[in-house]
A and B are shown apart, each in its own frame.
Chain A
Amino acid sequence: MDLILVAVIALGAIGLIAAVVLYVASKKFAVFEDPRIGQVAAVLPQANCGGCGYPGCSGFAGACVKAADAGSLEGKLCPVGGAPVMEKVAAILGLEAVASDPKVAVVRCNGSCENRPRVVQYDGAVSCRVAHATCGGETLCSFGCLGCGDCVKACQFGAIKMNPETGLPEVDADKCTACGACAKACPRGIIEIRLKGRVVKDNARRVWVSCVNKDKGALANKACAAACIGCGKCQKVCKKDAITIENNLAYIDPAKCIACGLCYNECPKKAIHASFTVPAPKPKPAPAEGAAAPAQQAAPKAAPAAEQQQQ
C-alpha cells in the first residue's frame, strides 16, 4: 500500500512542479499573436491552395492583418472564397472590402486531334513537363497543349478535365477558383488566369485568343487548322485597342476588351474563342448608289474574308 502511495505522491509532485515550470515559461516566453489572425483564418476556406500568393490560409490571414494595419486590403484576394469571404475578412478587420473582379482559368489552345494532326508519338513518362523537355510535342506545333494532363493533376478543385475527344483540358468555370495552380503547372504557359468578364444574363462574357503559337503564319497554319497566324484582322476590327500582335500571335487585353465579339467574327482561323454565343455579324447595309462603284472595286480583295465570315 505504501508503495502505491509513494508512487502517487512522487508522480503528483513531479507533475505539479512541471506544471508550475510550464506555466511560468508560457507566461515568460509567450509570443504575442494578433488574435485577429486566428479570426481571419477561421473564415478562410482552408483549401491551402496558395492561389492568393501566400503559403496557405494562415499565411494569407497574417498578410491580411498586416495589410489592415497599413490601412487597406487592396490586392489581397482569396480566389477560392471570392468576394463573400473577403467581405467577412474586411468586417473582422474593420475595413471596407475592396471589390475585385472575379477571374477564371482559360485554356489558350485549340489544337484538338482534328485541328492539329499528330505527326509523331510520344511514349515517355506521362507528364507535360517531361514531354516539354524531351520533344516539341506530338504535332508540328511546339507551343500548344501536350495533353499529358499536368494541369488536371494540379487542380485541387476538380475544375479541369481532359476531354478525350479533343485531347485538350477543359475548365469548368463554376468550379474554377482562379488559384492559378494549373497555370503554374503548365510548362508551356497555355493556361491564363483571365478576368471572368462582364456578366450578361448570368453568363460572364469573355473573349480570348485560343492559341499560343509564335511561329510564322505559314508554319502555324501548317501545324494546326485553328492556329493564330498573326494576320492582324482582329486588331484592325477592334474598336477598343484591346488587341496586340507580338511574335505572330494576337493577344486580347482582358482589361480593355468589352466582349463585343467583332474580332470573334473576323478571325479567319476561328482562333478567337468566346464564353458566350456571339451573334452573327449583321449583313452590311446595301451601299448607296453613289458609293457603289468604289465598293465594287474593293470587292475582290474583301470577298474571301466575307465568305469566311458567313461560314
Chain B
Amino acid sequence: MKTFRIGGVHPAENKLSAGKPIVTAELPKQAVFPLSQHIGAPAVPCVAKGDMVKVGTKIADAGGFVSAPIFSSVSGKVNKIDSIVDASGYRKPAIFIDVIGDEWEESIDRSETLVKECDLEPKAIVEKIKNAGVVGMGGACFPCHVKLTPPPGAVPTCVIVNAVECEPYLTADHQLMLEHAEEILVGVTLVMKAVNVNKGYIGIENNKPDAIKLMTEKAAQYPNIEVVPLKVKYPQGGEKQLIDAVIGRQVPAPPALPVSVGAILQNVGTMYAIYQAVQKNMPLFQRVVTVTGKSLANPQNFMARMGTPMSQLIDACGGLPEDTGKVIGGGPMMGKALMNTEVPICKGSSGVLIMNMTEAKRAEADPCIRCAKCVSACPMGLEPFLLATCSAKGDWERVEKEDITSCIECGSCQFTCPSHRPMLDMIRLGKSTVMGIIRSRSVKK
C-alpha cells in the first residue's frame, strides 16, 4: 500500500465520532463572520448596520486576488460590524448578524437531486467557484480559485483529492464521503474540467475502509477517477506528502508549488463545496464540523452554518465537560488552543476538540539528548532540533540555510520528542521571522 517516503509518525487515532451521521446544527441566535477566514487579504464588508440579509447573501467582497468573499449563513439583520476574538487569539474585525427566520436567496437550488452535467467553460467554472467564496477546507483556507489558476509555465497533469484526514479525532471528511460520495465525485469532474486534466485521484487512508469501498464503487462510473487507498501515517494529509504518496513525485523546496510537479490538490470538503457552488448556486456558508473529545458526552459530526459559536455545538454534544483542559480548533496535531468557546465556526473549522486536564497538560521540557528521533520523524527531511535551537538563539541566517521555510508545521517532531521539547513553537517563530526577512529582501530589490 502506498504512502509518503520520508518520516511520519503514528499518533493514536481516537476517531470517537466515526460513523456518527452528520447532524444539521441548530441555527444560532447571532452569527458572527470574521473578515479574515482565509489566507490572503481580509474581505471587505459590503453590508451596513441594519441591512437585512438572506441565507446566501454576500456580506463581504474579496479584498484582492488572493482573498475570498464571505456569504451570510443566516437570514436576519446586520447588528454591527465590530470585532471578535477568533481562533488566532486576537480581536479581528467581524460582521454580526441577528438571526430572524431562515429565508434563503432564491437563486440557490435547495433540492437534493444530483446534477451531474455541467456545460460551463473551464474559466466559467473557476469564476463561479471564486464568486462563491470557496477556500481550501482542510484548514489552511487557501482561496480555491487561486489554486485552479496555475501560474504561467506550470502545466497541471492530475487532480488529487485529499480525503486522508490524517489528524487524529477528526471524522468530518470521512462522514462527508459516506453521505455525499456522488456529489464529491461530480466536484472532482468539475475541477478536472476547470484545469483541463483527465486524471483524478482520491487518496484515502485505509483506516476508513467503508469510505474506500463506497468511493471505489461510485467512482466506477468515472473511468478517469481512481481511488487510492493509503497506509495510515501522519502527516499524509500534507499536500507535499500526499503528492508523494499518490503519484510518487516530490515537490521541490519553496517557492515551488504542488502544480510545479503537475498536481492540483483539493480537500474532499472543498470538492463538496465546489459541487454546491457550481451545480447548486450555493455559496460557501456551511461545513461539516467534528465536535469531539474523550470526556465529551456525545461526540458528533455537524453540518453547521458559518458563524455559529463553537459553544453552541459543544452544548449540543452534552456541554463542556468539567475536567476540560483545552478546547482546540482543528485537530490535536495542528489545531490551535482557543481563548474562549465563543469563537465562531469559520470556513476552515474542521473540528472542535476538547481535551481533558491530563491530556492537555504539556510535559516539562528536558534537555535535548540528541537522539535524532525528530530528524527521522520529519516528513520534510529537516533537522527540527537544529532549527528549534537556532531559532531560539535568533540565528536566522543559519535556519534559512537549513530550509526552515520548507517546514509544514505538522508537529511530528514535537510529538515524537522523548524530552518533550517545544520544538514546533520555536520553529514557527523562526519560520515566520525568516519569511519576513525574505519578503523584505524582495521588497528592497
**A interface vs B, CB < 8 Å?**
119-120, 123-125, 127, 129-130, 133-137, 142, 215, 219
Say yes or no: A135 contacts B428, CB within 8 Å: no
Question: Does B425 touch A at the CB level, under 8 Å?
Answer: yes
CA A127 – CA B422 in complex, angstroms? Answer: 11
- Determine the chain B residues whose CB is within 8 A of the CB of A137 once the complex forms: 89
Selected from B85, B362, B422, B429, the residue in CB contact (under 8 A) with A129 is B429
CA A219 – CA B82 in complex, angstroms? Answer: 12
Interface size class of B (residues with CB under 8 A): 10 to 19
Say yes or no: A127 contacts B429, CB within 8 Å: yes
Selected from B89, B336, B340, B426, the residue in CB contact (under 8 A) with A130 is B426
List 29 A-B pairs, Cβ < 8 Å.
Answer: A119-B339, A119-B340, A120-B337, A120-B340, A123-B362, A124-B425, A125-B422, A125-B426, A127-B426, A127-B429, A129-B429, A130-B425, A130-B426, A133-B432, A134-B336, A134-B428, A135-B89, A135-B337, A135-B339, A136-B88, A136-B90, A136-B91, A136-B339, A137-B89, A142-B85, A142-B89, A142-B90, A142-B91, A215-B91
Question: Does B445 touch A at the CB level, under 8 Å?
Answer: no
Given A133-B429, A134-B89, A142-B90: A127 in contact with B392 (beta carbons within 8 A)? yes
CA A307 – CA B156 in complex, angstroms? Answer: 73
Q: Which of chain B's residues has its CB closest to A129's CB? A: B429
- Determine the chain A residues whose CB is within 8 A of the CB of B441 once the complex forms: none
- Determine the chain A residues whose CB is within 8 A of the CB of B422 once the complex forms: 124-125, 130
Question: Does B401 touch A at the CB level, under 8 Å?
Answer: no
From A125, A136, A142, name the one whose CB has the most chain B CB atoms within 10 angstroms. A125
Q: Which of chain A's residues has its CB closest to B327's CB? A: A120
Given A120-B339, A123-B361, A127-B392: A134 in contact with B425 (beta carbons within 8 A)? yes
- Determine the chain A residues whose CB is within 8 A of the CB of B426 once the complex forms: 125, 127, 130
Distance (whole angstroms) from the CB of B329 to the closest CB of chain A: 12
Distance (whole angstroms) from the CB of B437 to the closest CB of chain A: 15
Given A125-B422, A136-B85, A142-B91: A130 in contact with B428 (beta carbons within 8 A)? yes
Distance (whole angstroms) from the CB of A55 to the closest CB of chain B: 15
Distance (whole angstroms) from the CB of B340 to the closest CB of chain A: 8
In the A-B complex, the 8 residue pairs with the smallest Cβ-Cβ separation, listed nearest first, are A135-B89, A125-B422, A136-B89, A125-B425, A130-B425, A123-B362, A136-B90, A124-B425
- Determine the chain A residues whose CB is within 8 A of the CB of B88 once the complex forms: 135-136
- Determine the chain B residues whose CB is within 8 A of the CB of A219 once the complex forms: 91
- Determine the chain A residues whose CB is within 8 A of the CB of B362 once the complex forms: 123-124
CA A120 – CA B342 in complex, angstroms? Answer: 14
From B88, B89, B422, B426, name the one whose CB has the most chain A CB atoms within 10 angstroms. B89
CA A13 – CA B382 in complex, angstroms? Answer: 54
Distance (whole angstroms) from the CB of B420 to the closest CB of chain A: 11
Distance (whole angstroms) from the CB of B393 to the closest CB of chain A: 11
- Determine the chain B residues whose CB is within 8 A of the CB of A130 once the complex forms: 422, 425-426, 428-429
CA A129 – CA B361 in complex, angstroms? Answer: 21
Distance (whole angstroms) from the CB of B238 to the closest CB of chain A: 21
> For window 175-204 of chain B, which residues contact chain A by CB distance below 8 Å?
none
> Binary interface profile of B, 391-405, with partner A (CB < 8 Å = 1, else 0)?
010000000000000
From B88, B425, B426, name the one whose CB has the most chain A CB atoms within 10 angstroms. B425
> For window 351-387 of chain B, which residues contact chain A by CB distance below 8 Å?
361-362, 365
Q: Which of chain B's residues has its CB closest to A138's CB? A: B339
CA A130 – CA B428 in complex, angstroms? Answer: 8
